[in-house]
């Protein structure tokens, strides 16, 4: 990216994506997230790693974010939080409308590797229609909305294992150092459930990829 390119990261979490872009390319960035805790950490991270970078982190339900009038971004992204705009298609449409011509839209989204077991859907309280039938279908959805897919980055099983099991480790470490947390039983029960769902079904049923689209 060129210096001073403008970037919007929806559901930015702790700001890692924007901070890395600022380190690499000296971009101007806006991150939006509903969590005040994540926004606080993102601001601290930016202060320590890119103190002179023009990065703004806004605590807000991202579906309510509106850019300043007339502003379109060089790059917009929503990596793994497409429920904000009721799914993948709605997210691409929302980001497209905030992206300048010849700009870039990046979305991270799951897809089915095979037909999900009904027991899996029930255990995770979700519908089959929530995600596309295949990786190819996720590409087609973006292109049917007038964008051109120029790159994809598909997670491997090792990537997925790394992501999921680091969560188990973090929660276990937290439980050992915070045994009096009143929320701990609920946290541990959730981890137990999600571990079961992942190992029983999700690992072999769901894929995940980053989709990079260019706006004409």
| pLDDT tens-place string over residues 31-49 | 999 999 999 999 999 999 9
| pLDDT tens-place string over residues 49-87 | 999 999 999 999 999 999 988 899 999 999 999 999 999
Q: Which of 86, 61, 210, 74 is nearest to 142 (CA)?
A: 210
Write down the pLDDT at residue 64: 95
Q: Which of 129, 88, 94, 90 is nearest to 107 (CA)?
A: 88
| pLDDT tens-place string over residues 74-125 | 999 999 999 999 999 999 999 999 999 999 999 999 999 999 999 999 999 9
**Domain 6-115+125-156+205-214 falls under CATH 3.40.50.150:** yes
**Domain definitions of the chain by residue range:** 6-115+125-156+205-214, 158-201
Average pLDDT, the chain: 97
Write down the pLDDT at residue 193: 97
pTM across the whole model: 0.93
Write down the pLDDT at residue 70: 85
Give the pairing type, strands 206-214 and 99-112: antiparallel
Read off the pLDDT of each residue in 2-7 and give the average, rounded to a whole number: 95
In the chain the first and final C-alpha atoms are separated, in Å, by 17
């Amino acid at each position: 990216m060129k210096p001073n390119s403008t970037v919007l990261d929806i559901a930015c979490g702790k700001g890692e994506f924007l901070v890395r872009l600022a380190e690499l390319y000296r971009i101007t960035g806006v991150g939006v997230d509903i969590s005040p805790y994540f926004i606080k950490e993102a601001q601290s991270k930016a202060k320590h790693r890119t103190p002179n970078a023009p990065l703004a982190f806004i605590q807000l339900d991202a579906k309510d974010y509106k850019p300043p009038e007339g502003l379109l971004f060089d790059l917009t992204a929503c990596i793994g939080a497409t429920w904000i705009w009721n799914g993948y298609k709605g997210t691409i449409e929302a980001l497209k409308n905030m992206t300048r011509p010849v700009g870039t839209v990046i979305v991270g989204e799951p897809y089915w590797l095979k037909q999900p077991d009904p027991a899996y859907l029930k255990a995770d309280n979700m519908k089959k229609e929530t995600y596309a039938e295949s990786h190819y279908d996720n590409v087609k959805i973006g292109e049917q909305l007038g964008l051109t897919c120029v790159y994809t980055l598909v997670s491997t099983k090792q990537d997925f294992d790394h992501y999921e099991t680091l969560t188990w480790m973090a929660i276990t470490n937290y439980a050992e150092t915070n045994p009096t947390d009143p929320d701990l039983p609920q946290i541990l029960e959730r981890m137990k459930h999600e571990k079961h769902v992942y190992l029983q079904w999700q690992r072999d049923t769901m894929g995940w990829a980053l989709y990079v689209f260019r706006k004409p």
